[in-house]
Amino acid sequence: MLAFSIRRIFQAIVVLAVVGLVAFSMFRFVGDPIDNMLGQERTDADIVRLRTQLGLDLPFPIQYLKFLQGAAQGNFGVSYRQGRPVADIIVERAPATLELAAVSVIFAIVGGIVFGIFTAIQRDGFIANAIMTSSLIGVSLPTFLIGILLIYLFAVELSWLPSFGRGEVVKIGWWSTGFLTVSGLKAIILPSITLGLYQMTLIMRLVRSEMLEVLRQDYIRFAFARGLSDRSIHFKHALKNTLVPVITVTGLQIGAIIAFAIITETVFQWPGVGLLFINAIQFVDIPVMATYLLLVSVMFVVINLVVDLLYYAVDPRLRSDGAVKAGHQ
């Protein structure tokens, strides 16, 4: 367990170092930072001064270390486009993205598991088949088309729900939440469905195929032979075994949801980090791009670590290596 954890943490650090290098190289080499920061009227003295000030005269590895040090302290530089510290902008916009992602993840996991079990148990039922067929089309649909379709149905035709923005938000400290107002809650429905739908379909299909596989196992047959009820077999015996592989994929899907938030935020003009990132790409706002990359990687790496550790928690076979031999006759 310890060796496993150490290896995983080491791998995570390597990933972060590589991503940090990419992010740093973006700062350093994409366009000239001096060009970006000084206006047209500049003197050679200005350039030299700024060079020293930014540490651009130092050797590359030292610059890199300084960059990492700054990043660790939340210093990500200044946005070329907005002229404000990137950290401030991100902090301002993070709640919108995190709330959207959280609702989508819950929607995807709950929906995916419920529909997955249903379609597995009702294997040849009419409704289950209908769900499977529509999920096949759902997987081929680009996220943004789903969003547009939902806007058309619920905002344009039925005018039940807003088509863009977060609605009214309430400030709690520096965190702005949309969960406390009716308009905020209404506003999050369509974006979170759009964002979560694809992942829900994936989880559903995975749960279904895993569940069908598990239901074929001897221990399920044995559970039937012991007279246990369908309910207990499906939800206790089969579900538990189904979840082991599902956890990994679900964890990775959470990462994907954060990345795909970029698309959903654009469709719904959701004022989050993803929209910020897209605007940054359009205007080649390197500090914002690099910061986003760094933050997302940290998030991914953390998620992957958590997933691995969860895996441990669910599957006792991985947990105890020492006890195996003790039971021999």
Partner 1 sequence: MGDTVLSVKDLVVDIPTRKGVLRPVDRVSFDINEGEVLGVVGESGAGKSMTGNAIIGLLDPPAHIASGEILLKGSPIQNLEKKEMQKIRGFEIGMVFQDPLTSLNPLIPIGEQLSETIRKHLPVDKKTADKRALAALDEVGIPAAASRINNYPHQFSGGMRQRVVIALALCAEPSLVIADEPTTALDVSVQAQIISLLKQLCRERGTAVMLITHDMGVIAEASNRVAVMYAGRLAELGSVEKVLTTPEQPYTQGLMASTPLASEGKKRLNQIPGAMPTLGALPSGCAFHPRCEFAYDKCRVDPYPTLSDCNGRAACWLVTENSEKR
Partner 2 sequence: MSGLKRFWQSDLMWSFRHSPVAIISLLVTVLLIFTAICAPLLAPHNPFDPATLNLMNGFSRPMEPNQFTNEVFLMGTDDQGRDMYSTIMYGMRVSLFVGFMAVLFSMTLGVVLGLLAGYLGGWVDIIIMRIADIQLTFPSILVAMLIFGIAKGFTPIEMREQMAIWVLILAIGLSDWVKFARVVRGATLVEKAKEYIQAAKLIDRKPIAIMLSHILPNVLNPVLVIATISLALAIIAEATLSFLGVGAPPTQPSLGTLIRIGQDYLFSGEWWILFFPAVTLLALALSVNLLGDWLRDALNPRLR
Closest CA to 300 of 79, 15, 74, 47: 15
Q: How far apart are CA 203 and CA 190, in angstroms?
A: 20
Residue 326 is given by DSSP the state G
Binder among 37, 228, 252, 299 for partner 1 (CB under 8 A): 228
Q: Is 211 in the site for partner 1 (CB under 8 A)?
A: no
| Nearer Cβ to partner 2 (34/256) | 256
| Nearer Cβ to partner 1 (7/221) | 221
Spatial CB neighbours of 163, under 8 Å, sequence gap ≥ 6: 151, 155, 156, 190, 268
Residue 262 partner contact from partner 1, partner 2, none using kind-dependent CB cut-offs of 5 to 8 Å: partner 2
Spatial CB neighbours of 36, under 8 Å, sequence gap ≥ 6: 80, 286
| Nearer Cβ to partner 1 (2/324) | 324
Burial class of 59 by CB neighbour count within 10 A (0 to 12, 13 to 18, 19+): exposed
| Nearer Cβ to partner 1 (78/239) | 239
Residue 309 partner contact from partner 2, partner 1, none using kind-dependent CB cut-offs of 5 to 8 Å: none
| CB neighbour burial string for 214-240, b if at least 16 within 10 angstroms, e if fewer | bbeeeebeebeeeeeeeeebbeebbbe
Contact 121, 234 (CB under 8 A): yes
> Which residue has tokens 């990345």?
259
CB of 310 to partner 1, least distance (A): 14
Q: Is 212 in the site for partner 1 (CB under 8 A)?
A: no
Residue 315 partner contact from partner 2, partner 1, none using kind-dependent CB cut-offs of 5 to 8 Å: partner 1
Q: Is 232 in the site for partner 1 (CB under 8 A)?
A: yes
Q: How far apart are CA 280 and CA 31, in angstroms?
A: 14
**Residues facing 78 on adjacent strands:** 85
Q: Is 231 in the site for partner 1 (CB under 8 A)?
A: no
| Nearer Cβ to partner 1 (157/218) | 218
Contact 260, 195 (CB under 8 A): yes
Q: How far apart are CA 69 and CA 227, in angstroms?
A: 62
Q: Is 83 in the site for partner 1 (CB under 8 A)?
A: no
CB of 224 to partner 1, least distance (A): 6
**Binding residues for partner 1, total number by CB under 8 A:** 31
Which of the ranges 50-58, 140-148, 199-207, 238-246 carries the binding residues for partner 1, by CB under 8 A?
238-246
Q: Is 224 in the site for partner 1 (CB under 8 A)?
A: yes
Sign (positive/negative) of CA torsion 218, 223, 229, 234? Answer: negative
Q: How far apart are CA 112 and CA 107, in angstroms?
A: 8
| Nearer Cβ to partner 1 (84/240) | 240
Which of the ranges 185-193, 213-221, 277-285, 289-297 carries the binding residues for partner 1, by CB under 8 A?
213-221
Binding site for partner 2 (CB under 8 A): 14-15, 18-19, 26, 30-31, 137, 139-145, 148, 151-152, 156, 163, 255-256, 259-260, 262-263, 266-267, 277-278, 280-282, 284, 286, 289, 293, 296-297, 300-301, 304
Q: Which of positions 179-208 make contact with partner 1 (CB under 8 A)?
A: none
